[in-house]
Structure 1
Amino acid sequence: MDVRTPDPESSGWMSEDDLELIRRRIPIIYVEAIPVRVDEAGRVEHIGLLLRATNDGMITRSFVSGRVHYGETVRGALMRHLEKDLGSMAFPQVPIDLSPFTIGEFSPLPMTDLYDERQHAVALEYIVPVTGECAPRQDALEVTWVTPEEAKDPDLLEELEGGRGKILRTALGYLGAW
């Protein structure tokens, strides 16, 4: 759940110093989305995982992810981050009911499976079908599409940053694919 390049058009953006101060004091709300491709019957055929470069030069896999800005709706944040990470032609099908399939709580202390050294963060986790072409932008280098069976690979699950392999396992269970 890395916050990277600021969006100068967004009124919800904070300076790096303000964000750092807040991160040390209160949990931050995030949305995360796992893009999927579905067949005509609504069965998941492929799961999209982002390949990212971290601030320290590591290459890792992750989900569409980002903060909910002050005054922004969860739907608005989800749409903004889907477009930011997948491009404007991804055509996400955000559900009418915005109940997440799970909630990820990331600790700044390595005491849980989900870890973010910068902050205590709470992420609302969504599975979002996309029907268009994905062209990653900003810090996302590419979208890798894997089948639900390939997503079970322990090595792939380990590549997901911050313990997100646990969230992907939960998503596969939610989809009836584990």
Structure 2
Amino acid sequence: MSTVRTPDPNPGWLNEEDLYEARRRLPMVYVEAIPVRVDALGYVTEIGLLYVADETGQFERTFVSGRVMYRETVRGALMRHLEKDLGPMALPQLPPSLQPCAVAEYFPAPSETGLTDDRQHAVSLVYVVPVTGECDPRQDALELTWLTPGEALSDEIQSEFIGGRGNLVRQALAYVGWGR
């Protein structure tokens, strides 16, 4: 079981009040990772989605996500959030050259991007990350569900994503050549 809690008790270089003020004035930088399982040829066979409940008790689908801290590399942030959200034995396989499959722009109100985060304006680098180990989802996740790409794109699952994130799953699958 991971010792890192979500939300992280050490929010980085800012205390909660300063973070709130920064979020009101500056875009925040995030990384997001869509964990996948691949076959021997490298084709995506499953997508790992976290199932969480929000503060009102509404159930939602999401994936690994978190802020890049001051003086932290994107690679370091990805590994930190993958371990925090999937557990230390997930064994994520980051490529030598990190290339995001998408750059997501979140706004506090609906916008042309279709992505919302009521806390802030955020720019997120989105990655598809193969994992080979055992995943033990974070404490605030009810479960980690492995779905086929077709299941992840179903209307039922797409309706469970928060803030437009279902579109990022579509982009990620297109990026890895699924559905050609």
Match in the other structure for 1:98: 98
Give the whole-Å Cα distance in 2 for the aligned partners of 1:125 and 1:131. 19
Match in the other structure for 1:173: 174
CA RMSD of aligned residues (A): 1.5
TM-score, normalization: structure 1?
Answer: 0.92
Match in the other structure for 1:63: 63
Match in the other structure for 1:21: 21
| Matched-pair contact (CA < 8 Å) for 1:69–1:77 | yes
Give the drift of 1:13: 4.3
Give the drift of 1:149: 1.2
Give the whole-Å Cα distance in 1 for the aligned partners of 2:137 and 2:14. 24
Match in the other structure for 2:125: 124
Give the drift of 1:152: 1.5
Match in the other structure for 1:134: 135
> What percent of counterpart residues are identical?
57
Name the aligned partner's letter for residue 167 of structure 1: L
Q: Compared with structure 1, are the counterparts of its residues 5 and 152 closer, same or farther at alpha carbon in structure 2 (3 Å cutoff)?
A: closer
Give the whole-Å Cα distance in 2 for the aligned partners of 1:161 and 1:13. 27
Give the whole-Å Cα distance in 1 for the aligned partners of 2:143 and 2:13. 25
Give the drift of 1:82: 0.1
The alignment covers a number of residue pairs equal to 174
Match in the other structure for 1:40: 40
| Matched-pair contact (CA < 8 Å) for 1:36–1:129 | yes
Give the drift of 1:175: 1.7
Match in the other structure for 1:107: 107
CA offsets 1:56-101 (integer angstroms, 9 cap, x no match):
3222100100000011110000000000000000000011111101
Name the aligned partner's letter for residue 6 of structure 1: D
| Matched-pair contact (CA < 8 Å) for 2:26–2:121 | yes
Give the drift of 1:4: 4.4
Give the whole-Å Cα distance in 1 for the aligned partners of 2:84 and 2:13. 15
Q: For 1:155, what is the secondary structure of its paired residue?
A: helix
| Matched-pair contact (CA < 8 Å) for 2:6–2:138 | no
Give the whole-Å Cα distance in 2 for the aligned partners of 1:57 and 1:111. 26
Q: Compared with structure 1, are the counterparts of its residues 85 and 105 closer, same or farther at alpha carbon in structure 2 (3 Å cutoff)?
A: same
CA offsets 1:6-60 (integer angstroms, 9 cap, x no match):
344x7x2422211110000000000000000001111111000011122332221
